[in-house]
Chain A
Amino acid sequence: MMNNAIVLDGVNHQLNDKPFFKDLSIELREKRIGLIGRNGSGKSTLARMISGLIEPEAGEIRVHGVDIAKDRKKAIETIGLIFQNPDHQIIFPTVEEEIAFGLESLSGNRKQAREGARSFLASFGRLDWAERGTFTLSQGQRHLVCLMAVLAMQPKAVLLDEPFAGLDWPTTRRLYHWLDGLEQQVVLVTHDIDHLESYDRILWLEKGQLIADGAPADVLPAYREKMERLVFSDDEILGPGLPATNGEQG
């Protein structure tokens, strides 16, 4: 229990051949962490670095004591990554195979992994999904499969990269609610800041730099205000003001 934190130490990393993350150091001990920022702020790259999929060019990242970029065997026991789009995460044609894959990686035993996947599905009351084709599932069901596939591996931390996009309101709320109950450390990358109010700590990233880091009550209102101001001003993502439309007076 000594080392249950995500620690970035002097991380430097380039994006498109330009220095992007410059000497980024953070220590995340809180149980619920939100990561916010605009498109292109580096959230997804940071998520991939924390998951060990991208190794920073300089600096060190340890998740619960594990060097996740080098020690991949330990890494997959330690941190699970939920991708933005379930179609990017789901590898296998049936639900059972998809869930068994991670378990097989952990145990090295295919038969045991299949049994594990079935009992895990049963514990979710979804045993009837085992034989179903992952492509026949609805969007919301696919998101749930992604969550189950990662949680079946019992990682110590779960990182979600803008999950649940395109899901209807009740489904999103239900998944978030369930997420809140997990015992794992959770890092949530999102634009959906309403869900972050109950979180312990919010990181606000822009262009690879931390703009703000603190409690939701301090960071979220500032973020909202800044984003509101950008709606009607020129900015670097969409460029200068858009032409007036009929519905707009003056």
Chain B
Amino acid sequence: MLSLTVEQRSWMHRLPVWLKLLLLCLFTLVLWPLADWRLLLASCLPVVLLYASAGRYFAKLGAQRLKPVVYLVAIIFIYQVVTGRIEEGLAICLKIIATVSLANLVTMTSRLDDMMAVIETLAKPFHALGLPPRALGFAMGLVIRFTPLFLQRGTQLNQAWRARSPRRTSPRLLVPLALSAIDDADRVAEALKARGGLQNTKTKETQSDSAPQ
């Protein structure tokens, strides 16, 4: 779901990020109480049109990035069918597809630092509670940045496995995957530190000195 921003530009890249997030928020709020699958199917139309307006490449990429959601939706739908609630199942699935696609579109058309700035602004009220807004924005940015890398790491480990074993990859690979994620986290922490990282904010006082050495 957390797709990388796309190199190819579109008119939506020029919209301010806060506006896009606000529209996404409104869209989700409007959709959520709806229960009629016909209405929800119609609500997918503007999303499809938005993708299409950015060009064929964009639409194709959007469809590709929906793939992980499709599995989830399929499971939900099967469950609903089994329990005899076909119409409700259809409604929930369409809701998920519409909102996730729109959220993907916002991510694809927004710069990471702009997104982080919005989150920082929103998080300001929580500063009094001890939550450093900059760290929060940073954390979200890092998730978006490193999720694809994490998936890539999974692919690499899978290849390393298959290069030396005829069997399918086993769940044993989860351990090295987790370890390498921790390892990567250490390296990112180092890289952040090397360029000043979060040092100039309040986080310096609230965080312990557990940075990797």
Contacts and interface: CB of A to CB of B under 8 A. Distances in A.
Interface of A: 17, 48, 51, 53, 72-73, 75-76, 80-81, 83, 87-93, 101-102, 105, 135, 149-150, 153
Contact of A75 (B157, B161, B166, B179): B166
Contacts of B176: 91-93
Contacts of A48: 159
A53 B167 CA distance: 13
Contacts of A73: 166
Given A87-B180, A91-B173, A91-B176, A80 B163 contact: yes
Nearest to B158: A53
B8 interface: no
A75 to B, nearest CB: 7
Most buried by B among A51, A87, A91, A93: A91
A89 B166 contact: no
Given A91-B173, A92-B176, A105 B165 contact: yes
A76 B156 CA distance: 17
Contacts of B85: none
B172 to A, nearest CB: 8
Contact of A150 (B157, B164, B167): B164
A105 B160 contact: no
Nearest to A153: B164
B162 interface: yes
> Taking chain B's interface residues, is the majority helix, strand, or loop, or is none over half, making it mixed?
helix
A168 B163 CA distance: 27
A163 B159 CA distance: 16
Nearest to A104: B165
A4 B5 CA distance: 46
Interface in B145-184: 156-157, 159-167, 173, 176, 179-180, 183
Contacts of B163: 51, 53, 76, 80-81, 83, 89
B164 A149 contact: yes
Contacts of A72: 162, 165-166
A53 to B, nearest CB: 5
A121 B100 CA distance: 52
A102 B166 CA distance: 10
A102 B159 contact: no
A91 B166 contact: no
A51 B162 CA distance: 10
A102 B164 contact: yes
B159 A91 contact: no
A88 B160 contact: yes
Contacts of B161: 91
Nearest 6 CB-CB pairs, A to B? A105-B165, A72-B166, A73-B166, A102-B164, A88-B156, A81-B163
Interface string B18-61: 00000000000000000000000000000000000000000010
A62 to B, nearest CB: 17
B183 to A, nearest CB: 8
B166 A101 contact: no
B157 A91 contact: yes
A105 B183 CA distance: 27
Interface string B70-103: 0000000000000000000000000000000000
Nearest to A135: B183
